Structure 1
């Protein structure tokens, strides 16, 4: 165990976060996301017993968001015609505001199939047991300055 590191971050996940470089992307996926098929060229880490918000909160304690792109955080857009509500997005924005002074401005949306294409090029995918729909979030790593 280490001091100051959220206990939810396993040694495997900490290793991956430390290995990632500037502009590498990380997907934190909900329970419906096809993590294994999307992650054929990525590291897939299973966190099935956890939800996306608790993983996101823990990661942002140690993971800087990219300051060189407009949206270093991206959500999967709801498909036209779907009547799904996404209150979890508000939870994500609340968490992000705790760790990044740019607040909600860092959050963008990517069309569902474009999100899948981007996920296929991610450095790693964290597969959670999150049951909320459209709860996938992609983070782009920034530079550690301190």
Structure 2
């Protein structure tokens, strides 16, 4: 595949399948979600081999280094050969998923938990599933002193 000497960042991110469309890639650049060395770049920024980019896509954060330039979109297996993903494992969505959460289970046939069992379960969960308490004292108190 012929490599191009000048390539725009929005086209590159589309070609390596970080974004589904080139329009989404250029909008991400305009919104400041694509950065190099902590500075926001425009969609017309020229990609160079060896540069490292920080990309924010929804909740997902990626750090990629350019290995090769790719002008046209190719399948995912070939696209991986043109960049190096430096994203720490802790920041990947699969690491943060609910599948990595410890599972609480009871033996089958033991019936419903007693009040004591329920309290022990709540202590184990330690507020993991409970929503935060409502905030009080918003500053709009009309109470008389």
Higher share in strand? 1
TM-score, with length taken from structure 2:
0.22
Larger Rg: 2
